């Protein structure tokens, strides 16, 4: 991780606020005064329970949601005023794979890369290369996406993002809901991206182990607020009470007063009540 | 930096990037057509049969001493042109709802391709697909009917076809914004809109037989002028000059609807991004 970077940071967010109005209800404050930076080549994780605002943050960065207040700069460019320039520099993988289900992996990837200005001739060899790299058997490249496993779909979503050579990669719970094996597979692909492509990454997750293993710094997000952000060791030292360093679970507990599972359960119950 | 970071697109001018993206939208729709090929065959058969069932009305009337061939041709032009134009309208108005349903909408909207490009690519495909399909239906139907096309002025017909395609693209763009604003109701509104167009535009009868207030609505439907012009060209061999009463309204509507549709669509996009409506549901 570069401590001093030349030029602008990969991501610089200042004072971002977002509320959603709901019919006949209090508005939901999904993001409250978020400040966050990611250096070039850095991987920053956001740990937070369901409904804490992680996806909203990712959507604000990817220009899908306009914040009520605050600034978002991607490689020094104001994302709110120059969305086009910023859109070219990033891509995203979310919890749902989000493909045309009847189209094949190859067709979906050709489409995805054309949106970013790559012709079929340019994209084709790279599609083959990237798909082979993630262990996809090319003889399935013509099969509809819906026939592939969730884990494989998620890896293809990573391939789609890689194809457009993003300088900033937004990963919003890429492994949530996968079986343990596929989860390891997808994490291995992310690890590989981190090692080879030198992209700057924002990784939102529920998974403590994933955050600790893949991220240079980890932020803890609760109710739209980023209450702490540091290296895993830094967080542990900050919340250390006894002679031994606590685990990340303990840190989360100390910082939020609850475990990640409990906080997620509560939020799910809230959603059920309001739904 | 990584080997991937040196993509050639970095040096491409903006217009070329948008053109490649427009091609991407058209190609994606082509992939979808290919994938749903059996459905295409079914729809083609359905459209052909429904045109034929209308055409037989003309044949039936023939026995009463009316010029049956002319009526048959009148009806078939109505049925086939309506099939073409309503398909263009549907394809465009479903731009957003389709992607919402597939769950790809956020990926499309966060890409650097502009909304104008998306709509342009969709229109290119809609028109190419529509023309191919319509030619097929026309070919099949003409085997079964004795049509009155001896005077036809095909050049005027082509001009009318181009102009009304553009108007319908514009109308479709305006309709496409509704599913953006209301995930559930948007598509319902455009279905009702299609039904009204079918009623007032004189697809199977002259607009002059309608009650006055419906005739007033018909004046605002591009399909009214498309049918008038097309029938004048194909049945009576009207020259470009003679079809001018149909051409100028189509020109004006196209000139208002296309840029207007784009503006509305962009405003809808901004609104959806402020209120968080792009997300698939709630
Ligand atoms: N588009 C939207 N419209 C209305 N409310 C929204 C929208 N997106 C998010 N919210 C609300 O904002 C809050 C934060 O949601 P968000 O999806 O950002 O959380 P999250 O941390 O990603 O949760 P999860 O782990 O479940 O994905 C929630 O209360 C949610 O209901
Ligand atoms: Mg989320």
Predicted local confidence at residue A52, as pLDDT? 92
- Nearest residue to A211 (alpha-carbon basis) of A2, A61, A48, A92: A48
Predicted local confidence at residue B189, as pLDDT? 87
> Does a structural domain hold residue B189?
yes
| Domain range enclosing B154 | 13-279
The tally of domains found in chain B comes to 1
ipTM of this predicted structure: 0.91
Mean per-residue pLDDT, A192-216 = 89
| Chain B contact present for A187, CB below 8 A | no
Query: How far, in Å, are A56, A99, A251, A255 from residue A239 at the CA level?
Result: 27, 42, 6, 8
| A84: three-class secondary structure by DSSP | helix
| Domain range enclosing A39 | 11-89+168-274
> Does a structural domain hold residue A128?
yes
- pLDDT classification of A262: cutoffs 50, 70, 90: confident
A84 and A184 both lie in a single domain: yes
Give dist(CA A26, CA B145) in Å, integer.
Answer: 65
Mean per-residue pLDDT, A132-150 = 90
> Does a structural domain hold residue B183?
yes
In this predicted structure, which of A120-129, A134-143, B48-57, B105-114 has the lowest mean pLDDT?
A134-143
| Tens of each residue's pLDDT in chain B, 282 residues | 344 444 445 678 999 999 999 999 999 999 999 999 999 999 999 999 999 999 998 888 877 667 788 899 999 999 999 999 999 999 999 988 889 889 999 999 999 999 999 999 999 999 999 999 999 999 999 999 988 888 899 999 999 999 999 999 999 999 999 888 887 787 788 889 999 999 999 999 999 999 999 999 999 999 999 999 999 999 999 999 999 999 999 999 999 999 999 999 999 999 999 999 887 543
Distance A53 CA to ligand 1 centre (A): 5
User: Relative to the CA of A21, which ligand 1 atom is closest?
Assistant: 4
Q: Could you say which of A140, A165, A190 is where a domain stops?
A: A165
Helices assigned H by DSSP within chain A: 54-61, 83-89, 105-115, 120-133, 150-163, 180-197, 208-214, 232-238, 248-256, 260-274
> Does a structural domain hold residue B220?
yes
Nearest chain A CA: its distance from B39 CA (Å):
13
Structure tokens at B103: 């769950």
- pLDDT classification of A241: cutoffs 50, 70, 90: confident
Q: Tell me which chain B residues have a C-beta less than 8 angstroms from the C-beta of A167.
A: 5
> Does a structural domain hold residue B182?
yes
Nearest chain B CA: its distance from A248 CA (Å):
31
CATH of the domain at A43: 3.40.50.300
- Nearest residue to B236 (alpha-carbon basis) of B228, B225, B244: B228
> Does a structural domain hold residue A5?
no
> Does a structural domain hold residue B265?
yes
> Does a structural domain hold residue B4?
no
Instruction: Give the contacts of B51 (CB within 8 A, at least 6 positions apart).
Output: B76, B79, B80, B83, B137, B141
> Does a structural domain hold residue A3?
no
């Amino acid at each position: 991780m570069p401590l001093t970077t030349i030029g602008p940071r990969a991501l610089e967010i200042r004072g971002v606020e977002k509320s959603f109005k709901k019919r006949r209800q209090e508005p939901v404050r999904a993001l409250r005064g978020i400040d966050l930076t990611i250096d070039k080549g850095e991987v920053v994780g956001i740990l937070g329970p369901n409904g804490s605002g992680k996806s909203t943050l990712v959507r604000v960065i990817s220009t899908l949601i306009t914040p009520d207040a605050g600034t978002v700069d991607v490689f020094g460019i104001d994302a709110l005023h120059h969305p086009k320039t910023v859109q070219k520099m990033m891509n995203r993988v979310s919890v749902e794979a989000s493909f045309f289900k009847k189209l094949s992996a190859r067709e979906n990837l050709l489409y995805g890369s054309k949106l970013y200005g790559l012709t079929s001739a340019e994209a084709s060899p790279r599609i083959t290369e990237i798909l082979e790299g993630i262990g996809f058997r090319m003889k399935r490249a013509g099969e509809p996406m819906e026939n592939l496993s969730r884990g494989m779909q998620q890896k293809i979503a990573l391939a789609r993002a890689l194809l457009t050579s993003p300088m900033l990669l937004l990963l919003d719970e890429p492994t949530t809901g996968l079986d343990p094996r596929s989860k390891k597979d997808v994490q291995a692909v992310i690890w590989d991206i981190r090692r080879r492509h030198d992209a700057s990454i924002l990784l939102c997750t529920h998974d403590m182990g994933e955050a600790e293993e893949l991220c240079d710094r980890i932020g803890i997000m609760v109710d739209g607020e980023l209450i702490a952000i540091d290296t895993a060791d830094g967080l542990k030292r900050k919340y250390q009470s006894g002679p031994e360093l606590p685990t990340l679970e303990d840190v989360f507990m100390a910082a939020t007063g609850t475990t990640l599972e409990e906080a997620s359960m509560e939020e799910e119950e809230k959603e059920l009540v309001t739904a | 930096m990584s080997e991937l970071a040196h993509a050639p697109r970095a040096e491409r001018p903006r217009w070329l990037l948008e053109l490649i993206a427009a091609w991407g939208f058209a190609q994606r729709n082509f992939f979808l057509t290919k994938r749903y090929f059996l459905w295409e065959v079914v729809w083609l058969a359905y459209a052909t049969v429904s045109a034929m069932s209308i055409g037989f009305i003309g044949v039936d009337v023939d026995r009463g001493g009316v010029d049956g061939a002319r009526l048959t041709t009148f009806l078939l032009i109505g049925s086939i042109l309506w099939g073409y134009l309503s398909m263009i309208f549907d394809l465009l108005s479903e731009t957003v709802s389709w992607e919402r349903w597939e769950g790809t909408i956020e990926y499309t909207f966060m890409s650097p391709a502009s909304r104008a490009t998306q709509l342009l690519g969709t229109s290119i495909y809609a028109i190419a697909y529509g023309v191919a399909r319509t030619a097929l239906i026309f070919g099949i139907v003409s085997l079964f009917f004795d049509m009155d096309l001896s005077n036809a002025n095909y050049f005027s017909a082509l001009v009318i076809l181009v102009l009304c395609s553009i108007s319908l693209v514009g109308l479709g763009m305006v309709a496409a914004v509704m599913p953006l604003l209301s995930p559930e109701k948007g598509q319902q509104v455009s279905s009702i809109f299609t039904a009204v167009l079918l009623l007032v535009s004189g697809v199977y009868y002259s607009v002059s037989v309608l009650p006055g207030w419906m005739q007033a609505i018909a004046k605002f439907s591009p399909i009214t002028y498309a049918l008038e012009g097309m029938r004048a060209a194909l049945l009576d061999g009207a020259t470009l000059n003679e079809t001018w009463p149909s051409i100028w309204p189509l020109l004006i509507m196209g000139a208002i609807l296309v840029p207007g549709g784009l503006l509305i669509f962009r405003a809808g996009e901004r609104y959806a991004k402020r209120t968080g409506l792009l997300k698939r549901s709630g």
